[in-house]
């Protein structure tokens, strides 16, 4: 079946004429029609746009003007502005918003010639770890419909796991690519902060947000990252440096690689089965020639409280633009301007978004700025410094992506602290702005488990090399839920 092919195999078969981009795109659209009503992984499906873009891709392929990704369809997380397509951020606030321009990532993938299947479901404004806070209802995990797919890029992870798209864009603010990748048994990478442009991504927390690819395998992610990364003058945080070929090191041997394993990762709170699977995955990397050394991240416990001061503070500022005046949701028959602001925001935002806005506004308020926001920034530096020191004695750090497998829908809805702690291992990476990769490593209670690989700044090629070599000796990334095969 076409949806079981790798990106490279799809590309080769498109060029060999075994099928066309229109046929490949229609195959995925048919699967979306068949399966998505139950999964709820897409907010918007764009069949007319997808087929017209596929027709153009076929013309490019026939003319010999195609790149490797030309003609291969993609799904975009509904946080990326897409010209002429609803871009809702899974919020009632933007339910009527049709983006008037493309995000940089969308325009880059359009330029390559990738048909757009649609926009995927997510936590509202990317605030969540389960995709349950979406205005359009929760997405289900393809491996078990009782379980969440993770968040906030849960829809993107679910469409890949179920074969409703070969690849998807995601964003990662505190683990929102890696945690759903782990929960759904796919591969996802968060690049170094600034490596992929944030232009046209609806902002949650600007100093944390980072776009990245979500695919079946590390090799597929490398091809996709090649098309997504690069300097963008419209993004003030975009890094002006030469973009490497992320596929160039995929086949490099892991002999001599030093893998750091923090003792702090395997303590209280980690599910024993998840722990055993992650340790077994690290042993597989050892068999490939890597050396394992113990490292320490003593300030890991400070990461979550620091993040949940800083990210809401940035969110309270970024979301102030949604006021019912210029675009988005507006309340009915406001009495005056103050009533317009208050009711538009209170009716347009969901509970989790309002909670984080309030926390952020409080942390930034006079009298509390030094006690909360400034202190959290100092903790952020300490967390970053821990990683820098650890990398003096190792090349990468490995551990779990999340303390458990995917939890059930509704299980943590009334326990926000427990929900926040599901990002315990991923948040420190965002505080430091480092790149990190999640690859499938096994199953516990018949739900996927991910291996987390963290590297120094700009080590994406090395991370993808490690992920690819691991996937040459394991087959977890090829597994697919039985009903979607």
Which residues carry out catalysis? 77, 152, 176
**SS3 readout for the chain:** CHHHCCHHHHHHHHHHCCCCHHHHHHHHHHHHHHHHHHHCCEEEECHHHHHHHHHHHHHHHHCCCCCCCCCCCEEEECCECCCCCECCCCCHHHCCCECCCCCHHHHHHHHHCCCEEEEECCCHHHCCCCCCCCCCCCCCECCECCECCCCCCHHHHHHHHCCCCCEEEEECCCCCCHHHHHHHCCEEEECCCCCCCCCCECCCCCCCCCEEEEECCHHHHHHHHHHHCCCCCCCCCCCCCCCCCCCCCCCCCCCCCEEEEEHHHHCCCCCHHHHHHHHHHHHHHHHCCCEEEEECCCCHHHHHHHHHHHHHHHHHHHHHHCCCCCCCCCCCCCCCHHHHHHHHHHHHCCHHHHHHHHHHHHHHCCCCHHHHHHHHHHHHHHHHHHHHHHCCCCCEEEEECCCCCCCECCCCCCCHHHHHHHHCCCHHHHHHCCCEEEEEEEEECCEEEEEEEECCCCCHHHHHHHHHHHHHHCCHHHCCCHHHC
Q: ω before 152 within 30° of 0 (cis)?
A: yes
**CB-CB neighbours of 106 under 10 Å:** 26
Alpha-carbon distance values, 357 to 320, 351, 448, 475 (Å): 9, 10, 33, 42
Alpha-carbon gap, residue 324 to 341, rounded angstroms: 6
Region of 297 please: left (phi>0), alpha (psi -120 to 50) or beta.
beta
Joined tokens for residue 154: 């849960």
CB 160 within 8 A of CB 186: yes
Q: How many residues would you count in the chain?
A: 485
Alpha-carbon gap, residue 51 to 72, rounded angstroms: 11
Alpha-carbon gap, residue 11 to 8, rounded angstroms: 5
Joined tokens for residue 227: 């098309």
């Amino acid at each position: 079946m076409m949806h079981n092919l790798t990106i490279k195999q799809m590309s080769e078969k498109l060029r060999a004429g075994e099928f066309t981009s229109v046929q490949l795109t229609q195959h995925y659209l048919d699967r979306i029609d068949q399966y998505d009503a139950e999964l709820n992984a897409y907010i918007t499906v764009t069949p007319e746009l997808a087929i017209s873009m596929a027709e153009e891709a076929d013309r490019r392929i026939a003319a010999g003007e195609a790149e490797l990704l030309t003609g291969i369809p993609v799904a975009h997380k509904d946080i990326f502005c897409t010209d002429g397509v609803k871009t809702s951020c899974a919020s009632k606030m933007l339910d009527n918003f049709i983006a008037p321009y493309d995000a940089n990532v969308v325009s880059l993938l359009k330029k390559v010639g990738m048909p757009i299947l649609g926009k995927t479901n997510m936590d509202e404004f990317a605030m969540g770890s389960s995709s349950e806070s979406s205005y359009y209802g929760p997405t289900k995990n393809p491996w078990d419909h009782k379980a969440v797919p993770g968040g906030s890029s849960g829809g993107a992870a679910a469409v890949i796991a179920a074969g409703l798209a070969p690849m998807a864009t995601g964003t990662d603010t505190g683990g929102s690519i890696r945690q759903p990748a782990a929960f759904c048994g796919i591969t996802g990478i968060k690049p170094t902060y600034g490596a992929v442009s944030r232009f046209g991504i609806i902002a949650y927390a600007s100093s944390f947000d980072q776009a990245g690819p979500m695919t079946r395998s590390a090799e597929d992610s490398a091809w996709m990252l090649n098309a997504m990364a690069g300097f963008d003058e419209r993004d003030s945080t975009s890094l002006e440096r030469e973009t490497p070929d992320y596929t160039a090191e995929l086949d490099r041997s892991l002999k001599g690689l030093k893998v750091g394993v923090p003792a702090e990762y395997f303590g209280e709170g980690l599910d024993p089965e998840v722990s055993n699977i992650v340790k077994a995955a690290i042993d597989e990397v050892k068999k490939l020639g890597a050396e394992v050394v113990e490292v320490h991240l003593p300030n890991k416990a400070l990461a979550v409280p620091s993040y949940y001061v800083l990210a809401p503070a940035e969110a309270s500022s970024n979301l102030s633009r949604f006021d019912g005046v210029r675009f988005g949701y507006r309340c009915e028959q406001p009495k005056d301007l103050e009533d317009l602001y208050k009711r538009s925001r209170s009716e347009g935002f969901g509970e989790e978004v309002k909670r984080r806005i309030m926390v952020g506004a409080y942390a930034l308020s006079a009298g509390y700025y030094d006690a909360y926001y400034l202190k959290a920034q100092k903790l952020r530096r300490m967390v970053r410094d821990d990683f820098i020191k650890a990398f003096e004695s190792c090349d990468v750090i490995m551990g779990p992506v999340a303390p458990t497998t995917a939890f059930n829908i509704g299980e943590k809805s009334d326990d926000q602290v427990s929900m926040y702690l599901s990002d315990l291992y991923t948040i420190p990476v965002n505080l430091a702005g480092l790149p990190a990769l999640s690859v499938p490593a096994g199953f516990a209670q018949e739900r996927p488990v991910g291996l987390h690989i963290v590297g120094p700044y700009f080590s994406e090629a090395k991370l993808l090399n490690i992920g690819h070599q691991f996937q040459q000796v394991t087959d977890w990334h090829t597994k697919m839920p039985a009903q979607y095969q």
